[in-house]
Structures are given as structure tokens and as C-alpha cells.
Chains A and B, each alone.
Chain A
């Protein structure tokens, strides 16, 4: 049985056009490639220190 109150909590206000710019700037664009590069760099740094 659907609970109206619980279901209503799943709905969130939609972003307005004026808020789009801020949303773009705040978007986390980190991807797996960034993580890989970071890991490789950290590994190289560790080797260098050793």
C-alpha cells in the first residue's frame, strides 16, 4: 500500500532556470579516469620518496 506522506518525501523541488548556472558550477565532475590518474600519481610519488 502506498503511503502518501512517504511518497511525497521522494519528490523534490525542480531547479529553476536561474539556478542552472549555480548547479553547473557545483556539479562534481570527478570520474573514474580522474581517480585513476590520482592513484597513479600517488603511486609514482610514493616510489620517488622510497
Chain B
């Protein structure tokens, strides 16, 4: 202990040995301060934090330099969740005794973790906001906010007390009791907590009068409301329990409602879905049917075309085929060849077969071998046949039977294209028969095939005469 006047260490004497100042009262003040500190320490040890705070404050009122008391006060504040108050005490303590002071460690502990400091600040802000909500009658919001505060700082006594007060106001006695018990665990002798707790316990375990009040308070119409754990039970008063037939009635009603819901809600949706599915299937089938119809039409057209070709070919084949099924023209050619081999001078017989071939078919459309054999026979007997037909035609021309003459002369020209007399006489026969067009054509052929001949000159004159 140091002298308040000169700062020297005091002895057991009642005065300062250095300056002579009377320190009797001063020493008593210091003793009282220490006494309060000891009491505060004892209370803090048994978690009577409110009592400890009171004693330690008294101690500091007697001696502000009681660093131990100040540090302990800060610690007690910290334990009750009053972090800013704790920091204030520790900072002052640190200033009073900069060295060998545990307050420095406490400050470092709080300030070293920035997240923790931020969390502390958020807690305080939320608590203040909750208080504002309470004053604005937004109690539900206040409760939510306080629950957040307590999740961040579970030792915040004031938040617990405010939450308990809100529960008390809402007549949620068990919740309030729970919060107040949490307060008691932190601070066992908080006057406010104990007062609230007494009120809550009175409501939870009331005597007859209080019970009457409570039941009157909780009765709302024909119901009784009470708390069971976290649940609010609302029980009707003077209402008989439903009988068994009532149960069946309710079951029946439920069944009807279920069926109605099925009919009006579920079934239409399913029907709609089924319709959509069927429509989709019909559309697919219709598309497939259209495609098949188009294919069938195309195939039918092919069948018709092929049928027509077949009929045409059958007709052609019938024309070629003889009575015994062989090709008639081939038979004629074979017979002509056989007749030529047997007697090359038998031109009449050979000519008959060749006439038959030329009348039945167009030799140019036959096979190469057919044409080769036909031309061979024709070149062998053609000029002779041509001369014979010329004679027949010329005789008929002279007799004035021009149709007969034309037929014979055409054969004469066909068998020998170099037969100028036959071609010229044919032109004359056409002219005499009145077939002027064929006459001109034939005269033209004479001029073309036999130019610079007497027949050509005569043909030219005849042409001039026809024009």
C-alpha cells in the first residue's frame, strides 16, 4: 500500500513514515475495498454473479486502483455476456497497471480472434434490435431475434431474461421457466431472474385461487388451453367424446370425399392422358396407313403397266407363234432356206416363203442371224423374183388392173431395189390409179436412184406434169 500523498510504501504505522500524512482513514478505506473484493470473489465462486458484481463495484468505489477487483469484475461481466462492459473494465485495469496484469491476456483473448469479436458485436446489435421490436409490440420478431442472439452467445443473461419476459407475456410459462433456469445456471442469484421465476412457478403450480384465475384466463369459449412441453394443447370443455357410430360416420364422409376427389380430380386427368395417348396412336397408325396406301397405289400402277406389257407381248407372241407353238416367221425362213438348198431355181416356192416373212414381220426388228439368213436367201433369189413380179405387174399394168400391178411391182422393187423398170412402172401405176402422192414419191425415188437415165428424165417430166 502506498501513501496517497507522497506515494511511498506505508508501514504498519497510522502515518506515512516519509511525509507524515495521516493514513488511518485511508488504510480503512483500502481495507473495505479489499473486503468487498473478497466478498465478490466468494460470490463469484458460487456463481452468484449479481452479488459478485455488486461487491466488486463497491470495492472499486472505495479503491479504483484495486486491479484484482476490476479484473474480476470484468470476468464476471464477460460470464454474463456483457462483453463490452468486461472489455471496459479490463482496459482500465490495463491502464492502471500496464505490466503483470492478467487483463492484458483477457483483452488479447477477445481481440485476437476477429471473427469472435465480430460475432460479439453482432450479438449485441441483435439484442438491441430485439429490444426495439419489443417496444414496437413485434413480440414474435423479438423472440426470433433473441433466439439468434442466444445461439451466438448462450451466456447472455439479459437476453435470456428478455426472452423469458416475452414468454411470460405470451403465457408460455414452461418456455419462460426453461429460459429462467438457464439464467440461474449462469447467475444463480439474479434478483430479476428469481422474481420472474417465482411468477412462473406460481403459474405452473398454482394454489386453488391462482388455478381458478388461470383456468379462467385460459378458457376461451368452450376450450381449455394449456402447455405440454413445447406444444399448446387445446381441449374442448364439456364436449362428449365421439361415439363409435360417429367414427363410422366420419369414415364414411371421408370415403365419399375421397371418391369425389378421385372422380373430379384424378379421373379427368387420367382420361385426358388416355385420350391424348389414343389420339397419338391413331395419328401414328394413320400416317403408316397413308404410307402403305401410297405404296399400294404405286405397286398397283406397276402391276397395271406390267399387265399391259404382258398382254402386248402375248399378242406379239401370238403373231409370231404358229399352230404348233413355234414362231411362224422362223418356220417360213427355215422353209425358204430348205427350199433354196433343195433347188435354188425354185424361186416361186422360195419367194412364197419370203413374201410370207415380209408380210408377217418387219425384218429389221428381227435378230441378226435371222436378218443374215434372210438377206442371203434374198440376194440369191431376189433379182429373179423381182423380174418375175415385174413381169406380172407390167402385164397387169398393161391390162389396166392397176391395183394388181401395184402389188406385184412393189414386190419386184422390194426384192431388187436396182430394178429401175419395176420402180418406174410402179410410179406409172400409182399415177394411173389416181394415187398422186405415191406417184410423186416413187418418181422421186427413180430420179434419186437412177439419175441421168432415161427413166429419170421421164420421171421428171411426169412429176412436172403432176404439178
What is A's interface to B at a CB cutoff of 8 Å?
1-2, 4, 7-8, 10-20, 23-24, 27, 29-34, 36-37, 40
Contact = CB atoms under 8 A, between A and B. Distances in A.
A15 B92 contact: no
Contact of B84 (A12, A16, A30, A36): A16
Q: Which among A2, A17, A20, A27 has the highest number of chain B CB atoms within 10 Å?
A: A17
A41 to B, nearest CB: 9
Contact of B63 (A11, A12, A27, A32): A32
B88 A23 contact: yes
Contacts of B250: none
Interface of B: 4-5, 21-22, 25-26, 29-30, 32-33, 60-65, 82-85, 87-88, 91-92, 117, 120-121, 124-125, 127-128, 131, 134-135, 158, 161-162, 165, 168-169, 192, 195-196, 199
20 contacts: A2-B195, A8-B135, A8-B165, A11-B131, A11-B134, A11-B165, A14-B124, A15-B84, A15-B124, A17-B120, A23-B88, A30-B64, A31-B60, A31-B62, A32-B32, A32-B62, A33-B30, A33-B65, A37-B5, A40-B5
Contact of A24 (B60, B91, B117): B91
Contacts, number: 92
A37 B25 CA distance: 10
Interface of B: prevailing SS: helix
Contacts of A19: 84
Contact of B121 (A8, A10, A11, A17): A17
A11 B26 contact: no
A16 B124 contact: yes
A46 to B, nearest CB: 16
Given A14-B84, A14-B124, 7 more contacts: A11-B165, A14-B128, A17-B87, A31-B62, A31-B64, A33-B30, A40-B21
